[in-house]
Amino acid sequence: MTEYGFDLRRRLEARDRNGLRRDLEPAERVASRTRFAPDPRGRGGAVDFDEPALVFASNNYLGLARDRRVQRAAERAIHGVGTGAGASRLVTGDTSLHRALERDLAACKRTERALVFSSGYAANVGTIAALEPDRLFSDALNHASIIDGCRLADAETVVYDHCDPDDLAAKCDSAATEAAPDEQWLIVTDSVFSMDGDVAPLEALCEIAETYGAWLMVDEAHATGLFDDGGGVVQREGLSDRVDVQMGTLSKALASQGGYVAGSEPLVEHLLNDARSFVYSTGLAPPAVGAAREALRIAREEDRADRLWETVERLREGLETAGYVVLGESHVLPVLVGDRELAVELAGRVRDHGVVAPPIRPPTVPEGESRIRVAPMATHDRDDVDACLEAFEEAGRAVGVLP
């Protein structure tokens, strides 16, 4: 008899053989220092935590996930609105709290309006598909949610070389020779690339988009809250009026959950009617909305981002002085190792010294470019940074990465 089921054990065995099997690792709390436990998988029961470790692996960049003001804002949302939105926002799940957050996001992104989604992933796939472009131009290292959005849009997708405006211009020029006069083009890029730590050349991309009458969409997931007035790289570069679609998340520097799109009034009206990941999803839970709004206020009014950048500078300088190659130019510090197994061993040795920083290996990055992704937070103090640098120096010597 023919069998039509799924042999998932074989797939998992293949992952094991290729060194790609990953496990969940429960954390005691979201903070700059916490305890972790081995993956209990489906066995249930109590979780046995290890000794506390410094976390240099979180996207909680401003360290606001445990800020009491943010927690109180979530509590107020629970008591005032409820624990859940209860329905799609187009049914009964749209609250005054959602609208207040969207007004704040539009203000810091300097746009007419913003729309909050249940996740950043939902914002990207829903927006790209809803725009229905005839042709997409996507950076080679864009996030998976952008890639999946391009797939769902069912348009011709042209991948241009990473952060290379010359290659993008050449591919736009080539496409123009065969394009219909009424085609709609969308150029999509991350602003800060989460695995390389580099920043897209946004002004050059704006110029190319304007030359060809295309729209530019920028994913500010790893930049929102870290630059001017709580904005992202778009705001830092003064490009708010030249980027057609600004996307971002509430789950990183804003220490909550969800995503958003900011832009013109017609853009938001179109998305709330046509983006399937918005129309057919329950509205973002009110506690997440309240927490994100308070975190955004803190990001706009306080100097936490300045503290983060000071920590980033000390870490980068210390790692490079020790002999490491550190990629990028942002708050994400990829420590290049090269060999896949060596990166895993180095991360393990760093962990033995009480510092959590994950190895990033193929297929997430190209073969031969495995790395350790170091992500500091504004709440890391000088002693934390010194401990991280000491861990990398001792671990690097132990595995032969450093002399």
Q: Does residue 109 have an active-site annotation?
A: no
Structural element, H or E, at residue 385? helix 382-399
Give the residue among 118, 107, 332 at the shortest CA–CA distance from 231. 107
Dihedral sign from CA coordinates of 331, 335, 341, 347: negative
Residue in 118, 138, 145, 194 annotated catalytic: 194
Query: Are 381 and 366 in contact, with CB atoms under 8 Å apart?
Result: no
Helix (H, G, I), strand (E, B) or coil at 36: strand
Could you tell me which residues come within 8 angstroms of residue 334 by beta carbon, excluding any fewer than 6 positions away? 195, 196, 197, 326, 327, 328, 360, 371, 372, 373, 374
Residue in 98, 171, 222, 331 annotated catalytic: 222
Give the residue among 38, 33, 8 at the shortest CA–CA distance from 23. 38
Q: Does residue 171 have an active-site annotation?
A: no
Q: Does residue 194 have an active-site annotation?
A: yes
Task: Please state, in angstroms and rounded to a whole number, the distance separating the CA atoms of residues 377 and 58.
Answer: 8
Task: Please state, in angstroms and rounded to a whole number, the distance separating the CA atoms of residues 215 and 263.
Answer: 12
Query: Are 256 and 112 in contact, with CB atoms under 8 Å apart?
Result: no
Using alpha carbons only, how large is the chain's radius of gyration in Å?
A: 22
Residue in 98, 143, 171, 252 annotated catalytic: 252
Task: Please give the positions annotated as active site.
Answer: 194, 222, 252
